[in-house]
Amino acid sequence: MKRPVSITVIAIMILVGLGVELLVLPDVQFQFASIFGIYLFSWAALWVFVAFFAMHLFAGIGLLRCRPWARLLAIALYAYSIVDSILTRALPGSFGRYVQALKTSHHRINYTESFVPGWPVPIRFSFWALLWFGIPVWCTFIYFLWTRRPAFYAARAFDSALPAGGASQ
pLDDT in tens, 124-153: 556 677 777 889 999 999 999 999 999 998
Task: Please tell me the predicted confidence (pLDDT) of residue 89.
Answer: 80
Task: Please tell me the predicted confidence (pLDDT) of residue 66.
Answer: 93
Range with the poorest average pLDDT among 34-38, 104-108, 122-126? 122-126
Question: What is the rounded CA–CA span in Å between residue 42 and residue 101?
Answer: 12
Neighbours of 148 (CB within 10 A): 19
**Whats the size of the chain, residue-wise?**
169
C-beta of residue 45 within 8 angstroms of C-beta of residue 33 = yes
Average pLDDT over residues 50-69: 95
pTM for the model: 0.77
From 129, 121, 152, select the one nearest 4 (Cα to Cα).
152
> Is 60 exceeded by the pLDDT of residue 28?
no
User: How confident is the model over 112-123, as pLDDT tens digits?
Assistant: 454 444 444 455
Beta strands in 36-103 (DSSP E): 38-41
Average pLDDT over residues 19-25: 78
> Is 90 exceeded by the pLDDT of residue 159?
no
Task: Please tell me the predicted confidence (pLDDT) of residue 124.
Answer: 58
Classify residue 66 as left (phi > 0), alpha (psi -120 to 50) or beta: left
Average pLDDT over residues 82-111: 74
Mean pLDDT, the chain, whole residue set: 79
Angle of helix 68-90 versus helix 94-108 axis, rounded to 10: 100
> Is 90 exceeded by the pLDDT of residue 111?
no
34 forms beta bridges with 39
Q: How confident is the model at residue 37 (pLDDT cuts 50, 70, 90)?
A: confident
Kind plus residue range of the DSSP H or E element containing 77: helix 68-90
> Is 80 exceeded by the pLDDT of residue 101?
no
